[in-house]
Chains A and B, each alone.
Chain A
């Protein structure tokens, strides 16, 4: 096989050469998080290369946008990244608003931030939980999913759906916060914040877990920038870059929060553990944002009047926002008609797949699982 054009010859001391084994990991494999495929060349347990083969979940979402119109595309954005659908909703809303120059009401912005941050916690919970499961510990997964269920309940009450929300609209959000919803969300935060410490006690600083993740797949800051890593993957390498801070959008400048970065506390900066622990810390920061947002929701409408036949002026717009998987870009070209001329979505998971081959050479087969889990790859987001 000449995929990628690599040809690594295995030489053992004493000239005893062994045959490389080509393994197809995926598309159906328990720990590839969806239908993602790796063509792995292994010498026993040691990996020589692991080439990601993407495209099994391609649904032409960007092409669909050209056929369904601006309003009609909102439900499809849920499917771009179904683990964190709210940021995708927000991205599409933001890019359309920038195209047409629509001002979003402040209450709607607060609703958006609350929904997105809750969804970010849910997404990170799934990520750290499945990371535990990929390492072989099943209990953290169920505990993480238990908390995620509470978030799903909250979001279900907010917008009627648990996974693909379709909550936001161009120019605001679809529904106002339900009555008595804010105290429930605060009660959830009161319960959830101490549980993060419990989760750390359960798995994060477990000796075996740390041994499995520390110093595995170290990515330096320069490398991470070169390979265009974003979000927690980039911050795990020690780069303090968060779109919410560095290119503020929505009402994020009004909130106080930190950007956690990897410090290499158990190994080297930029190893799998750093990427993992950054997500745990981000949940804390999301809780901080949520508390401030829930305390200060202003009164007012949640949706501006946007014509049903939405025809933005000719032009293009690019916006970026911090999704659960990092810097997400939305580009839309309008030709003045009811349908977008072209839509392009830039996602964090897709760029993260490019570095997997580089960091997984010479590590053990079990490490590949940890590496894939630490990048928090979501297959639909890779392929769209």
Chain B
């Protein structure tokens, strides 16, 4: 990247005469825009399509299946439709805040993509404070949501905004406390550094490193769901309570931006979980070809993170919503103390447990984790088969 810009601004280059800092800034903007339009927005869109399909399957419906094969292009149709809609700003609303709030939310989620390592080479910026940066920029989302709730001048929006602020601020604490054990283990905040400290095999992942990181993983995932306003923590936009929460008054593209951020955020959650606990892009060393390796690593990373997106969809389709007081007591009475215990426990583990025992524990925990997964999917399979056995044609309607 740097060489390319230097080459372009140098003697005989396309941009000869343009000062280097300006050219570099332009290049960064261009590259960022390419990443956003080619990867981030489609990922958010496809996630929305997938969520609707997965939801429909779980709810014995069909889901969107008209636009493109299996309805795959539904997200494009929705996007175009929303862009063509009138963008209504209520007369009583605070115009400026109302207008910029969705952009703030979207910036909060797009900015995280800057540090997400898709492979050993594919990363926009490997910041040395990567994971700290992620927690910082996702904090922008709460500002945007609160702004939207306040500026709408609608009581339902205001309630949604305040709920969101309380929820996101509270749940950032267990989320951050669950990141710290990993930082302790690796001694770095850089996302690439964290991945490089793990291996391709499950017993090299931090998920199975010790019992404390295992717990930290679940705490982090639940807290991340709460930060992303996902069911069972979707109180800010609880449809049956607050109409549409903070986005009640929004319409058209601005409304879409909120949901773009929500679905995009799902992928960010999966990516961060993968980076911290699941070995990131680590693959077995099969080839020396850097291109093939990058594709492999990208594929592995993408699948791992998308698996957690799928889990989040599954959770959303299964669980009801918690109440506000239950949400807060869950965070402060259970998750924060457990997260602190995890942090201290990891530190003690590092001091006490000798290196040889370490390996054994990791292998045992991997086996235990595999057993849980196998048992769980066995149960799922059992229930699916049982449901299929009764699948008789009971449609009586003589007309159809």
Contact = CB atoms under 8 A, between A and B. Distances in A.
B395 A137 contact: no
B318 interface: yes
A188 B320 contact: no
B324 A366 contact: yes
A142 B61 contact: yes
A364 B243 contact: no
Given A31-B241, A187-B394, A21 B155 contact: yes
Interface stretch (B69-77, B142-150, B230-238, B272-280): B230-238
B18 interface: no
A139 B58 contact: yes
A208 B322 contact: yes
B241 A142 contact: no
B60 A153 contact: no
Given A136-B320, A206-B319, A367-B323, A153 B396 contact: yes
Contacts of A154: 396
A157 B396 contact: yes
B240 A157 contact: no
A191 B390 contact: yes
Contact of B60 (A31, A44, A143, A203): A143
A31 B320 contact: no
B2 to A, nearest CB: 50
A81 B313 CA distance: 36
B103 to A, nearest CB: 27
B392 A139 contact: no
B240 A369 contact: yes
A136 B390 contact: no
* Size category, B interface: 35 or more
Contacts of A203: 320
A365 B319 contact: no
Interface string A178-214: 0000001001100100100000000100101101100
A355 B43 CA distance: 49
Nearest to A208: B320
A150 interface: yes
A383 interface: no
Interface residues of A, number: 39
B247 interface: no
A184 B393 CA distance: 11
Nearest to A147: B394
A40 B162 CA distance: 18
Contacts of A146: 60
Contacts of B241: 31, 365-366, 369
A153 B395 contact: yes
B324 to A, nearest CB: 5
B73 to A, nearest CB: 24
Nearest to B60: A146
Interface string B311-332: 0000001111111111000000
A10 interface: no
B159 to A, nearest CB: 7
Given A31-B240, A139-B317, A150 B396 contact: yes
19 contacts: A23-B156, A30-B239, A45-B159, A135-B321, A136-B240, A137-B320, A137-B321, A138-B317, A143-B59, A150-B394, A153-B396, A153-B397, A154-B396, A184-B396, A191-B394, A194-B390, A208-B320, A212-B322, A212-B326
Given A153-B395, A188-B394, A211-B326, 16 more contacts: A31-B240, A31-B241, A45-B163, A136-B231, A137-B318, A137-B321, A139-B318, A156-B397, A203-B320, A208-B232, A212-B321, A212-B326, A365-B159, A365-B324, A366-B235, A369-B240
